Structure 1
Amino acid sequence: MWGDVTAHDVQETGTDRALPRSFVLTIAAGTVLQALNASTMAVALVDIRQQFHAGAAASWLISGLYLATAIGSPTAGRLADRIGARRVFTTSLVLTVLSSLLAPLAPDLGWLIALRILLGLGTCAAFPAGVAMLRAEADRRGTALPAGALSALAIGGQVMIAFGPVVGGLLVSWQGWQSIFLINVPLGLAVGLAAWRHLPADPPRPPTSTTAVLRGLDLPGAALFTGCIAVLMLFLLSLAEQPRWWLLGPLAVLVAAFTTWELRVPDPFADVRMLARNRPLTGTYLRTALTYVAFYTVFYGYPMWLQNARGLSADQAGLVVLPIALLAMASVAVAGRVIRRRGHRPVLLVGSVALLAGGFGLTFLHSASDLVPLLGVAALLGLPNGFNNIGNQAALYQQADAADAGMASGLYRTSQYVGANIAAAVIELGFAGPAADAGLHRLGTVVAVISAVLLAGALRERLATGRRAGGAFPTQKS
């Protein structure tokens, strides 16, 4: 999920010269902080709810970080191009350490959510700034960017997602939920020291006014997009208690204003024209968002049920969900080989079928279930993540025009985090209170329905491609 890498990112040549290991590892260490803070919350949310006596509002601890990431990632990338990647990278570490120091002191849930959003802005900026530095250093050396450099970022993110719930569970059981924030302080300072020693200074740039820099970021478009997602989340979360139907009016106004604005500006936050003219690409974004709704519904909802209904401790719940990430890591390698031989469509078919089976598996679990079925369902749910993730990436780079590759990549990551935000509301609606068996079964049903929609779409695309090819399904990626 984090640190997505594709063949378009890397061009290997026989003359590649490896980038300095300390340089690459410093950047990788900075980028994994986002994955760490996303995954540790999966096992800390129950304790936070209890301390602040919070209901549905606690879901903003999940959606706030992902909303900040959806906005902050493309914005940080543009800032790196304009004011310097190293400057953006180190600033991200400052924001991470500052917000992590203040979070344990939050007097109420509102302050904690605000600091979690600040943490999301800090951790998300390291990836686009890091990739910019990798590319700049490769260009300076006159070589294509080695695959190993970007692989280090991807592997680091996947490993952190795998072990984040385990680490978070141990921290919460040992020192309480505050420790999942405080762990960022020594880590951030260590990465900052490494950045000071191993990252080259930004090259001199022509003087640029602050106004010119801000104008190139399309901050009004980003603000309108934030408003759209925030109001949508408020509406969805209200459905669990007292529906606020009147929010649909402001939501429609914000969507219209966002679309109108993006059609007017020369460098938009989201290129609406590109989405309109490239329907297959737009379909990939929608499929990606749905995939991540299902994934994060499981990734956060399952540990909550394990702790509340099954009675496991935070560290035990972290170990039970470990197979989700481990199987996702293993399935990426298998899916990659299938894509090279048969394209992305068979991969998406397998991912959708596995997700459907995993969703049904959740509906058969109950609070007295043995450990074996708990682990088995977790493993089953991990399998589709790798297939769907790499399959959607392959579809993206097949469908995006070369001139739109940068914008298309940014919107792909945004669609992931939009799905993560919606998942937070789905969890609240599914449990409708304490995480009990009935709520888990509702979440499983939602995941199954989403996977059925994804499966139908994958079958339709495959059949349509087969008809265009004269009735024979393609065996190579087009």
Structure 2
Amino acid sequence: MPARFVAPIAFGTILQPLNSSMIAVALVGIRDHFQAGSSVTWLVSALYLATAVAAPAMGRIADLLGPRRTSLGGLALVAAASVAAPFAPGVGTLVACRVVIGIGTAAQYPCGVAMVRQAADRLHARSHSALGAIAACSQVTAALGPTLGGLLVGGFGWTGIFWINVPLAVCAAMVILRWGPADPPTAPEEAPAGRLRSLARIDPLGILLFAATIAALMFWLLSLANRPEWWWLAAVVPCAALAVARGLRARDPFLDVRLLGRRDLSFTYLRTIATYTAFYCVFYGLPQWLEEARGLGPTGAGLVVLPTAALGAASTFAATRLVRRRGPRVTLLVGTAALLVGGLLLTVPRTGSPILLLLAVTTVLGLPNGFNNMGNQNTMYSAAPAERTGAASGLYRTSQYVGANLAAAVLALLLGHHTDDAGLHRMGLTVAGIAALLLLTSLAGTVRRAVHREHRTERHHQWN
């Protein structure tokens, strides 16, 4: 695809990983400013919850109203909430602003993928480079977010992490308006009435049931870190049943259960949850060990894990070429094998291990990120119907954040209140176990498809 399309699409997607990672270095300042105590942790959870619920909803809106319009609407929400946040009278208002920011940033990924598909279909071009650019932006931004956040908090206080969203959202809107692929034209006699009729088709009841299911599930996952609140899990069952019933009976449902009936698509979501559980275990667990057990402090820990970000971006570009030549399945095999090796390497470091050894481990840990992300993303893209690309991409994003919250629970169980060598090694074995399971399922699927192709070829020869 032409770079003039790829750049504006990818630029908008940096807002979500940036806002999810910058907040880590601002929590202490916010807590002291409002004397809020542990309630500031809702600033982290609120964004994840809002994104997990809003991503498929915004993707569905993009399918109906057009991804470019929906993306610009999301950017307007981000800018408005970011202007209001520094003047919040309390943590509750600040959490509400984070929810609105989560909704606005949630629109960017599904809208970006939908714009990629529209442009690729119209230009008869391959989409691998555009999807690779989106993946690379997410990888780099998430990794550099704490560093940028530290500079902003140091220079402007905690409000800096909100103010930075305003120029970024304005710039993203300007480049999308200037170079972003246009939405399909609306007939003059159908606008704005046609858009209102399209909004009526979004299925608000389906969105409400889906939101209740995801919120109950993620509240339960978050509770695992302290005292499990099983009644949240009990609430998931009836909410999910009602959401499925609505998806089967509605004429134009928000959650198309038949879409999840596509084996490749539903399996991709499950694999994404498992992959991101392992990814976020490393993303949050390793720096914690470097600070608490190795004694490097925040700056030293950030520098040690920097190779993970650098190689993650480089592996994304390598994975883009591999997808183009060999397809997403081979890319996933490489990514899960590298994740298995990286997990096993996490069992090697000790408190007294030299920095060079730690740098070698973090370098290897950056390798699987690009391959797994590109493999899962391209599998989802290929399996999703063209008219449901936005909604399918939103569910893919939701899968990532379910994995993030599951990782938080796993880390609480593995690391405890103070991270030591044994906790790091347990985390490494858990990551390796997840990778081994993913690798076995990928190999089994590859063998099954090879046998199927062989049988089909034999039948073809018999008929001829």
Q: In which range does the TM-score fall when normalised by the shorter chain? A: 0.7 to 0.9
SS of the counterpart of 1:461? Answer: helix
Q: Structure 1 residue 376: deviation in Å?
A: 2.1
Q: How does 1:380-399 map to 2 (within 5 A)?
A: 380-399=364-383
Q: CA RMSD in A?
A: 3.8
Q: Counterpart in 2 of 1:415?
A: 399
- Choose between structure 1 and 2: higher helix proportion: 2
Identity fraction in percent = 49
**1:284 is aligned to 2:301:** no
Q: How does 1:166-177 map to 2 (within 5 A)?
A: 166-177=147-158
Q: Counterpart in 2 of 1:295?
A: 279
Shift of the 389–118 alpha-carbon distance from structure 1 to 2, 3 Å rule, reads same
Q: Counterpart in 2 of 1:120?
A: 102
Residue of structure 1 aligned with 2:168, choices 187, 206, 209: 187
Q: Counterpart in 1 of 2:205?
A: 220
Residue of structure 2 aligned with 1:161, choices 139, 142, 152: 142
Aligned-partner residue type, residue 94 of structure 1: A
Cα pair 1:359 1:446 within 8 Å, conserved = yes
Cα pair 1:134 1:145 within 8 Å, conserved = no
**1:237 is aligned to 2:222:** yes
Q: Structure 1 residue 327: deviation in Å?
A: 1.4
Shift of the 293–155 alpha-carbon distance from structure 1 to 2, 3 Å rule, reads closer
Residue of structure 1 aligned with 2:357, choices 353, 373, 387: 373
Q: Structure 1 residue 114: deviation in Å?
A: 3.1
Q: Which deviates further from its counterpart, 117-126 or 427-436?
A: 427-436
Cα pair 2:207 2:254 within 8 Å, conserved = yes
Aligned-partner residue type, residue 36 of structure 1: L
Q: Which deviates further from its counterpart, 108-117 or 178-187?
A: 108-117
Q: Structure 1 residue 423: deviation in Å?
A: 2.5
Q: Counterpart in 2 of 1:92?
A: 74
Q: Counterpart in 2 of 1:40?
A: 22
Q: Structure 1 residue 383: deviation in Å?
A: 0.9
Q: Structure 1 residue 329: deviation in Å?
A: 2.0
Q: Which deviates further from its counterpart, 348-357 or 155-164?
A: 155-164
Aligned-partner residue type, residue 201 of structure 2: G
Q: Which deviates further from its counterpart, 26-35 or 224-233?
A: 26-35
Cα pair 1:221 1:268 within 8 Å, conserved = yes
Partners of 1:96 and 1:207 in 2: CA distance: 24
Shift of the 197–382 alpha-carbon distance from structure 1 to 2, 3 Å rule, reads closer
Q: How does 1:7-406 map to 2 (within 5 A)?
A: 21=4, 25-41=7-23, 44=26, 60-80=42-62, 82-83=64-65, 87-104=69-86, 110-129=92-111, 143-144=123-124, 153-192=134-173, 205-208=190-193, 212-276=197-261, 278-400=262-384
Deviations 1:50-84 (A, max 9, x none): 886755x7665444323322332333344345556
Shift of the 160–247 alpha-carbon distance from structure 1 to 2, 3 Å rule, reads closer
Flag structure 2 segments of 5+ consecutive residues without an equivalent.
456-464
Aligned-partner residue type, residue 242 of structure 2: A
Partners of 1:399 and 1:27 in 2: CA distance: 21
Cα pair 1:135 1:145 within 8 Å, conserved = no
Shift of the 314–382 alpha-carbon distance from structure 1 to 2, 3 Å rule, reads same
Deviations 1:372-423 (A, max 9, x none): 2332222222111112122223433555566765654443333223323322
SS of the counterpart of 1:185? Answer: helix
Shift of the 318–222 alpha-carbon distance from structure 1 to 2, 3 Å rule, reads farther
Q: Structure 1 residue 249: deviation in Å?
A: 2.1
Q: Which deviates further from its counterpart, 326-335 or 102-111?
A: 102-111
Q: Structure 1 residue 309: deviation in Å?
A: 4.1
Shift of the 454–50 alpha-carbon distance from structure 1 to 2, 3 Å rule, reads farther
Q: Which deviates further from its counterpart, 401-410 or 456-465?
A: 401-410
Aligned-partner residue type, residue 447 of structure 2: L
SS of the counterpart of 1:242? Answer: coil
Q: Which deviates further from its counterpart, 243-252 or 148-157?
A: 148-157
Q: TM-score, normalised by structure 2?
A: 0.80
Q: Structure 1 residue 37: deviation in Å?
A: 1.7
Partners of 1:28 and 1:432 in 2: CA distance: 38
Cα pair 1:67 1:421 within 8 Å, conserved = no
SS of the counterpart of 2:191? Answer: coil
Aligned-partner residue type, residue 202 of structure 2: L
Flag structure 1 segments of 5+ consecutive residues without an equivalent.
1-9, 11-17, 472-478
Shift of the 398–155 alpha-carbon distance from structure 1 to 2, 3 Å rule, reads closer
Cα pair 1:138 1:145 within 8 Å, conserved = yes
Cα pair 1:356 1:451 within 8 Å, conserved = yes
SS of the counterpart of 1:92? Answer: helix
Cα pair 1:30 1:126 within 8 Å, conserved = yes
